[in-house]
A and B are shown apart, each in its own frame.
Chain A
Amino acid sequence: MFDFRFYEIWRESDFIDRLINGVWISVELSTAGGVFGLIMGLALAAAQSSVSPSVLRYASISYIEGIRNTPFIVQLFFVTFGLPLIFNYRWPFEASALLAIVLNFSAYFAEVLRAGIESVHRGQIEAAQSLCLTRRQTFFDIVLPQAFANVWPSLTSQFVFLFLTTGLISEIGVEDLTWSGRYIADRNFRDFEVFIVLTLLYVLIVFGYKAIFSLVQRYAFRWRVAR
């Protein structure tokens, strides 16, 4: 009754090449987006600390609320089709995709990191002060490592959630995993099988990411388990 024809996907070596390339592009862009997004998110979270000037604080909050309350696809289209017209300069779609991903991820990461920073006990900061550490040293040496450790699980699930939306970059022609699937389905007309395989590949990538996150948890934050 069910006539599955998965072999239609690996019938042509071109299809397989596209899939492999798609996995690579998806992983590459989301990893880069994750790293840069984390750095930008950190800056956004730090800008919200009580010592920073209120202009900076409001700018950071507005940015975060603006991103978090609008869909990624709209941000992506604006960055890809709107910004180049404003600057009168065209850049490759991959760059637009990466920019949109970073802008998007950073707002979500900032929210998680802010919670992490707030979760660090006040006594830690007082101890650092009484040991003459400067504000900057206190933030980077004392607060940040503990903040990361405290919210690492949230950061993991937030990243996975965001990763699962990156397939939208196929809409602007970036040849990621979703794009490869649509390319194949357009040619072998086996949409169902193609998207099942695609889903499996996404799940596998998520497994990979989760494994990396928990490795970091195990080694970088082993002081938390060691009690």
Chain B
Amino acid sequence: MTELIQLLLGEFHAKMLLVLLSATQWTIYLSLTAFIGGGLIGLIFTVLKISPIGWLRRLATAYIWLFQSIPLLMLLFLTGLGIPAFFKIDVPAWLAATVSLTLFTSAYMSEVWRGALESVPKGQWEGGRALGLGFNWILYSIVAPQALRISTPPTVGFMVQVIKGTSMAYIIDYNDLMRWGKKIANSQLDGAEPYIVYPVVALIYFGLCFPLSQWSKSLEKTMSPK
């Protein structure tokens, strides 16, 4: 494989591509962690948001609003630079990046899922209550399965946002694809001009994101009612 790339691109560009590809794994790890972590936290706040208890709902509303309003960039600065400076502690870049992206993801995911839950007709809840079922049971057995159908395409679609979001983490020195792209583009080496490096970086991101976008689109087609 390596030989083939060398043969096609020449030694220098082959090396560059391999460095970028190996940096891409950190982009993938961060995306996955943020997506799974954010999904779990988002799930909790989704349930809180529709719970029958008033103050829990308000808590969830505040949470979702807060982390949708804070720019991801500010989250990164706050966790990666602000907290270490303020509490005089050392926060590794990967931790700050993970926390930021997880919070960011959780807020948007619960917004998507709440929308999906609310789009399930009220009659479904009433029907469940008429059968004598409690809140948890109606949610779990009647409403959630229908909402899942509606929310799958936007959930997959949001993974694209998460991956693109991880590219900001280089700003607090997280060693991902973007950071290595920038390093190489700044290296002043012949053949590593910005107009070569950035399109290659873009292409790698595209390779990660485009299949997910298409998947989301095809899910939307197959899952839409009728």
Assess the B167–A77 pair: CB atoms within 8 A: no
In the complex, given contacts A83-B195, A86-B195, A198-B77, what are 19 additional A-B residue pairs having Cβ atoms less than 8 angstroms apart? Answer: A68-B213, A71-B163, A71-B165, A71-B168, A73-B170, A74-B178, A74-B181, A74-B198, A74-B201, A74-B205, A85-B195, A165-B73, A167-B73, A178-B74, A189-B85, A191-B85, A192-B82, A194-B82, A199-B71
CB 8 Å contact bits of B70-110 with A (1 = contact, 0 = none): 11111001100111111000000000000000000000000
Least CB separation from B200: chain A residue: A74
Assess the B70–A78 pair: CB atoms within 8 A: no
Least CB separation from A5: chain B residue: B86
Least Cβ–Cβ distance between A131 and chain B, in angstroms: 32
Assess the A185–B81 pair: CB atoms within 8 A: yes
Least Cβ–Cβ distance between A35 and chain B, in angstroms: 21
CA distance A82 to B74 in the complex (A): 27
Contact of A73 among B81, B167, B193, B199 (CB under 8 A): B167
CA distance A71 to B199 in the complex (A): 11
Contact of B193 among A65, A82, A192 (CB under 8 A): A82
Least Cβ–Cβ distance between A149 and chain B, in angstroms: 20
Is residue A93 within 8 Å, beta carbon to beta carbon, of the partner chain?
no
Least Cβ–Cβ distance between A12 and chain B, in angstroms: 18
Knowing A85-B194, A199-B74, the reply to whether A65 touches B213 (Cβ < 8 A) is: yes
Least Cβ–Cβ distance between B172 and chain A, in angstroms: 11
CA distance A183 to B171 in the complex (A): 15
CA distance A193 to B171 in the complex (A): 19
Q: DSSP majority for the A interface? A: helix
**A interface residue numbers (CB < 8 A to B):** 3, 65-66, 68-75, 77-78, 81-83, 85-86, 164-165, 167-168, 171, 178, 181-182, 185, 189-196, 198-199, 202-203, 206
Q: DSSP majority for the B interface? A: helix
Least CB separation from B75: chain A residue: A199
Chain B residues with Cβ under 8 A from A182's Cβ?
77
Assess the B213–A198 pair: CB atoms within 8 A: no
Chain A residues with Cβ under 8 A from B181's Cβ?
74, 77
Assess the B167–A195 pair: CB atoms within 8 A: no
CA distance A167 to B77 in the complex (A): 11
Is residue B202 within 8 Å, beta carbon to beta carbon, of the partner chain?
yes
Least Cβ–Cβ distance between B202 and chain A, in angstroms: 4
Is residue B13 within 8 Å, beta carbon to beta carbon, of the partner chain?
no
Knowing A81-B185, A82-B195, A192-B82, the reply to whether A69 touches B74 (Cβ < 8 A) is: no
CA distance A85 to B84 in the complex (A): 39
Contact of B202 among A3, A78, A199 (CB under 8 A): A78
Is residue B160 within 8 Å, beta carbon to beta carbon, of the partner chain?
yes
Is residue B32 within 8 Å, beta carbon to beta carbon, of the partner chain?
no
Assess the B77–A191 pair: CB atoms within 8 A: yes
Knowing A65-B210, A69-B205, A74-B167, the reply to whether A206 touches B69 (Cβ < 8 A) is: yes
Contact of B168 among A65, A73, A82, A185 (CB under 8 A): A73
Chain A residues with Cβ under 8 A from B63's Cβ?
none
